[in-house]
Amino acid sequence: MTGLLTDLYELTMAAGYFEAGKASQKATFELSIRRLPKQRNFIIAAGLAQCVEYLLNLRFSVEEIDYLRGLPQFARVSSGFFDYLRDFRFTGDLFAVPEGTPLFAGEPMLTVRAPLIQAQIPEPALLSAITFQSLIATKAARMVSAGGGRDVLEFGTRRAHTPEAGVLGGRAAYIGGCIGTSNALTGLRYGVPVFGTAAHSWVLSFPSELESFRQLQKLLGPQTVQLIDTYDTLQGARRAAELGPPLWGVRLDSGDVIALARQVRTILDNAGFPQAKIMASGDLDEYRIRDIVAAGAPIDVFGVGTELATSGDAPSMSTVYKLVEVDICGIKRFIAKFSQNKESIPGSKQLFRLPDRDVLARSAECFPAAEALLRPVILGGQLVDSLPDAHAARARALKSMAALPPQLLCLDVVEPRPLEYSKELLTLIERTSKNRT
């Protein structure tokens, strides 16, 4: 991982910390959710694996260091700092909420405890990695919830913000509950199930629709999904039925899918293929899926692209990465920011999950009956244990969501889940607020 994949000010601050003799001062930063995105009752944490990969591989190349040396912002920086960058390794600790965990406003997702410079530089990469995947996992969870048991498949790579975002979006959508993705690289890298058959260009590249259907069947056998809307959807359905098995089913990609699905179902049933499935795609989101399900349209699988791959109605989330504690010669100083509407809460913390509420506490506190969600992932620069994979994260998400009060799974915004602060944390906030400079 290139060390320059960060904001310049992280590096100017790093240089400043170095020059001020603060390079080895231990600091604790917390990545937390300031506010939930609009129309969300929770988010599903995802992206931790990429944060870990980033921290463990963060390095500065000679070319990168030379580039910095040439910038006017580094004109006053001593060569000791560039030597420091050359030998840079992340030697600190990372505590994190496991991927697949539902989280709520005001809750921490990661804690980084490391020498100040090492904890400062990762800010943008950690925020971007975890916020993006959490947005996509959450959007997927909403679509799966709206689907009421029907399968949802992610195929939005072409709409993702760079092809790489498509790869990671496919991973996140799977964690959020999709059955898989269209992205082949997501399959290879993360073991996520991949799906895909043919596009309109396939149909159009043959002299006739029937010929294209025949060739697809020859290629895919029982996995054949005929795309039937290139010319006329009902005519396409009749042609697919005429050819008969092997046939997994058909895909509708345009028009009034509720009405068309009913007519196509009748065509397939009358031709003797009640087991042939119907997939719908084209401008779907969770609200449209809810409407289609409510209308009782006979659709078995939803394929979603744009809205899922970009978290279209909420493409960003107010996550923050804040300094909460510094150790100066072994003495902790607790840090909070008091800027208007942008306050932060001091001190290293733990987040406890109880059946009916969450409790934010100081890191050393115990709540015997509760699940402690911030767990050690990296200690002293070493991975503690191999991380759960995308399958395990998905299983955790599905299980955790099933355990939430059902109203939180609604598409509309409901009363937020209570988040309490422990007495010790309240005392610390009070104390830090009095000491502000």
Residues 6+ apart with CB under 8 A from 47: 99, 129, 130, 131, 132, 133, 134, 168, 172
**Alpha carbons 14 and 116: distance in angstroms, whole number:** 8
Q: How far is the CB of 83 from its own copies (least distance, A)?
A: 17
Q: Which is closer to its own copies, CB of 158 or CB of 357?
A: 158
Q: How far is the CB of 402 from its own copies (least distance, A)?
A: 28
Amino acid at 412: D
Residues 6+ apart with CB under 8 A from 75: none
State both tokens at 210: 């029937």
Nearest alpha-carbon partner for 126 in 398, 378, 380, 397 = 378
The SS3 call for residue 128 is helix
Q: How far is the CB of 1 from its own copies (least distance, A)?
A: 9
Q: How far is the CB of 312 from its own copies (least distance, A)?
A: 6
Q: Which is closer to its own copies, CB of 158 or CB of 431?
A: 158
Q: Which is closer to its own copies, CB of 31 or CB of 351?
A: 31
Nearest alpha-carbon partner for 317 in 31, 33, 7 = 33
**In contact, 267 and 278? CB cutoff 8 Å:** no
Q: How far is the CB of 362 from its own copies (least distance, A)?
A: 19
**Alpha carbons 336 and 30: distance in angstroms, whole number:** 11
Q: Which is closer to its own copies, CB of 339 or CB of 382?
A: 339
Q: Which is closer to its own copies, CB of 184 or CB of 383?
A: 184
Q: How far is the CB of 13 from its own copies (least distance, A)?
A: 5
**Alpha carbons 40 and 410: distance in angstroms, whole number:** 9
The partner residues of 180 in beta bridges, in order of sequence, read: 153
Q: Which is closer to its own copies, CB of 41 or CB of 311?
A: 311
* Degrees, nearest 5: CA angle 218-223-229: 85
Q: Which is closer to its own copies, CB of 229 or CB of 358?
A: 229
Amino acid at 268: L
Q: Which is closer to its own copies, CB of 63 or CB of 430?
A: 63
Q: How far is the CB of 27 from its own copies (least distance, A)?
A: 7
**In contact, 417 and 358? CB cutoff 8 Å:** yes
DSSP class per residue in 240-304: HHHH-SS--EEEE-SS-HHHHHHHHHHHHHHTT-TT-EEEEESS--HHHHHHHHHTT----EEEE
Q: Which is closer to its own copies, CB of 5 or CB of 372?
A: 5
Q: How far is the CB of 283 from its own copies (least distance, A)?
A: 9
Q: Which is closer to its own copies, CB of 98 or CB of 170?
A: 170
Q: How far is the CB of 383 from its own copies (least distance, A)?
A: 20
Q: How far is the CB of 33 from its own copies (least distance, A)?
A: 14
Contacts by 272-275 with C-beta closer than 8 Å and gap 24+? 272/244, 273/241, 273/244, 273/245, 273/247
**Alpha carbons 77 and 96: distance in angstroms, whole number:** 34
